[in-house]
Chains A and B, each alone.
Chain A
Amino acid sequence: GQNIDQPTEMTATEGAIVQINCTYQTSGFNGLFWYQQHAGEAPTFLSYNVLDGLEEKGRFSSFLSRSKGYSYLLLKELQMKDSASYLCAVRARFSSGSARQLTFGSGTQLTVLP
């Protein structure tokens, strides 16, 4: 089976930096995704890591350590519109090896305060 853990809630101030952590346990690991989801809306893709290291994309960066089963999403220069749920999702092969699926964490609800 797979297990993905994220903090349930985080609060930060506008203009600050926040780091959202995600730890996972899985076999057949094949990549980690971060999605942003505003309340009542569809998740939107933010980043993807399959190799160790940092991927930077504007104000958002994502880091992966496969040996530690650990990733984080770093948000810089926080804006009010960044208030949303951030979902960590792990891609892994089925035990049969026939296909891959994403397993989502429960999400971290980030509140940005003025």
Chain B
Amino acid sequence: DGGITQSPKYLFRKEGQNVTLSCEQNLNHDAMYWYRQDPGQGLRLIYYSQIVNDFQKGDIAEGYSVSREKKESFPLTVTSAQKNPTAFYLCASSILTSDIQYFGAGTRLSVL
């Protein structure tokens, strides 16, 4: 079955630690996105990538980093510079010419 897989489902970060959230898709989509969702709020764009080896900052990129070495994969690193990382993180992908975005099941990140 085609889809978007995010892992892990739950993640705990210690202070000063970097953590990486995985996102893999087998939909052959060119574009991939990372969003952050806080309770009672909408999705805010962290980073997006329209093609391999290229990515752009979204509205709240500070404290995060990404890479896009393969079409299928778009990992997100939450760095120690992100002082308030507790949130629900969603990865999405879309065919480049159509912006219907399809989402993974999400990773819930908490701080120990």
A interface residues, Cβ below 8 angstroms from B = 4, 8, 31, 33, 40-45, 48, 87, 89, 91, 99-107
CA distance A9 to B88 in the complex (A): 20
B43 touches A41 (CB 8 A): no
Q: Which 3 A-B pairs have the closest CB atoms?
A: A104-B42, A42-B103, A104-B43
How many whole Å from B11's CB to the nearest CB in chain A? Answer: 15
B interface residues, Cβ below 8 angstroms from A = 35, 40-45, 48, 50, 56, 58, 88, 90, 99-106, 108
Which of A33, A41, A103, A104 meets B100, CB within 8 Å? A33
Interface SS majority for chain A: strand
Given A106-B40, A107-B42, A101 and B48 touching (CB < 8 A)? yes
A99 touches B43 (CB 8 A): no
A102 touches B40 (CB 8 A): no
CA distance A104 to B101 in the complex (A): 12
